[in-house]
Each structure stands twice: as structure tokens, then as C-alpha cells.
Chain A
């Protein structure tokens, strides 16, 4: 059991915790905090995403976004080009989805998160990790990191 589970669960800061990975495949030269998450509906498989306080949106691989289509709601098509990870996307949409931060200890946390879903042009290939961004999710939960145990604690505000 992670060292601070009792403390953080009992004082209401967190409802759950899970172990994170330091690395994302293909980006091993950089340290990240990679955690699992999934759509809240049953039979939905998990993905892994980087906890990124430098990212605005939650962004997932476009193929996964397509697979998650039934989970998205409140969609809005933006007519302005947007630059994500230094790459220009002529179009994209903003949408919400209920996602679960999977707990290994305590309880899962379900959040209505905000995603940016880029629309790739035929010559564009997606080669980025999945990200959990600040305005897309992180700013709306409590979380704490314990690097000594690679543990992330999360809870509701």
C-alpha cells in the first residue's frame, strides 16, 4: 500500500492512488508521469497518458478518439487552425468525455474531462503520446505526486 494512502484518504485530499510509470515508450529520454485512464463505461479498455501541466487539453491518439466516439459529448468544431505539439492542425473539435482515473488503492475517480481532437490531413501522421492537460482535467481535481514510490494520489475538489 502506498505510504500516504491512509493520511490522504482520511483527510479527504485523495480518494485513490496508483503507481505511475516514469517513461512513455518512444520518449525514454524524458521523464514523465504516465498513468492509466479509461472511459467510464463498462467494457472500456484503459489507455495510458502523460500527466502534463504544460498542456492545455487532454489529447489522445486520433485512432483512440475515433474508437471513443460514443463516449464523447458536447462537441464543438473549431474553424481556426490550432497548433498542438508544434504541429498545425487545420481543423479539430473540442469535446467532453467521462473518464476514470484508475486506482490501485482506494477508489477510482470519474471526471468529465475536456479533450481537443485534432483532425489529421491525409499527409499527417500522429506520433505523440496521450496527454492529460491542465485545463482539460488537472485543474479540476486534487493530485499529489510521491516520486519516492512513483505514486500519484488523486481526489475531488
Chain B
């Protein structure tokens, strides 16, 4: 089931490392301006660079466990909200979701009224069970079979399939929805872009 990287067959770690360094080293040759844009510039950029240096080093060394340890052991009291959200974004760019969530949780205690920290905390909160309900979709097996047998005839198109029958095809999702009857707008209808 581990298909993500197989699909393109590309390793992404090297790019990820460089990307992680960007906000603290240089962006488009205008580091100061970009730092200001990111909201992390202050009177002493050098001091901030020193603050972020251990993280940069860990990324440069591709030592993500070290990076994770640094994040988890971080005393945030010396960090401004914009610096923390920059670190959260950096964690996200490294796919370290739980580290990003831990940061946002700690930061929320420190800056309870900061909108961006609050939105990071909510967005990074783990998925949760909402409930169950009686099945509302019918004929999905037939529609699955349709995709297996017929989808290749509709390459490049958006299609809507209900109970194993093609309801509509179109060049865009918007156009497709315009072609679908209101009564068919329910979970029994499956929409998909065919590649």
C-alpha cells in the first residue's frame, strides 16, 4: 500500500532539505526582505539566525531525528509567534506533522490569543471519529466495476457514474456538475477525473 513515492519514482529528500533551509538562509537573493515578509525579522537578524542554526544544521546533515529532538526540547519562551509559526511550517515541509502539532500546542499556551498559532493548532489537531450512520450510497460496487472496465475510454475527462452507469462526462468539474441532475447529487454518484 505504500504507493506515494512509487507513483513518480522520485526521491524527494534532497529537495526537502534545501527547501527547509530556505527561509533562514536566502530566498531569491533577498534574505532580509523575505525574513520581513515572513514576519521573523527583528533588530537582530543575526541573533535569530543563531537561534535557527541548530535546526538548519540538523536538516543539512539530514539528521531528522536530531531535528525532532531539538523541536521537542525547545524552550519557546525566547521565540516570537512569527518565529514559532516559521518553525511549524518548517516541520510541515519535512512531513513532521506530530512535531508541528506539539509546537503549536506549546505555543498556544504561551500565546493564547495569537490567531495564526491558534489556526495552526486547530489544523494540526489529529483526525477524530465523528459518528456512524446507515449507508446512504447504493450501487458503489457496480460503479467501481465501471471504472475498472470503462474508464480508459474517457481519458482526460471528468465523469460521473451512478450504479454502474455513466451519468455525464465533461472537460471540467464545473461543466460536469452542470450536467448532473439535482436528484443524482448524492453519495451514490461517484465523480472522478480520468488520467
Residues of A participating in the B interface, judged by any CB pair closer than 8 Å: 15-16, 18-23, 25-28, 30, 32-34, 36, 38, 40, 42-48, 50-56, 61, 63-64, 67, 74-76, 78-83, 85-88, 93-96, 98, 100, 102-114, 127-129, 131, 135-137, 139-141, 156-157
Contacts and interface: CB of A to CB of B under 8 A. Distances in A.
In this complex, the member of B22, B98, B191 whose beta carbon has the largest number of chain A beta carbons within 10 angstroms is B191
Interface string B140-153: 11011001100110
In this complex, the member of A18, A46, A94, A136 whose beta carbon has the largest number of chain B beta carbons within 10 angstroms is A46
B103 interface: no
B10 A86 contact: yes
B51 to A, nearest CB: 17
A102 B137 contact: yes
Contacts of B92: 78, 80, 82, 94
Nearest to A59: B4
Given A36-B190, A56-B95, A157-B129, A30 B6 contact: yes
Contacts of A22: 148
Contacts of A55: 3-4
B173 to A, nearest CB: 4
A26 B4 CA distance: 15
Interface residues of B, number: 70
Contacts of B38: 79
Contacts of B191: 45-47, 64
Contact of A108 (B127, B136, B180): B136
Given A19-B141, A46-B191, 7 more contacts: A27-B195, A36-B137, A48-B147, A82-B92, A98-B130, A111-B127, A114-B123
Nearest to A157: B129
B107 interface: no
Contacts of B126: 114, 139-140
A87 B102 CA distance: 27
B56 to A, nearest CB: 14
> What 10 pairs between A and B have smallest CB-CB spacing?
A26-B195, A54-B2, A76-B123, A86-B10, A25-B151, A80-B89, A74-B122, A80-B93, A86-B8, A110-B130
Nearest to A93: B123
Interface string B116-137: 1001101111111111111111
B194 interface: yes
A46 B188 contact: yes
A56 B97 contact: yes
B148 A54 contact: no
Interface string B75-111: 0000000000110011011010110000000000000
B15 interface: yes
Contacts of A85: 4, 7-8
A4 B93 CA distance: 40
B190 A45 contact: yes
B140 A88 contact: no
A4 B4 CA distance: 29
A44 B133 CA distance: 15
Contacts of A137: 127
B123 A111 contact: no
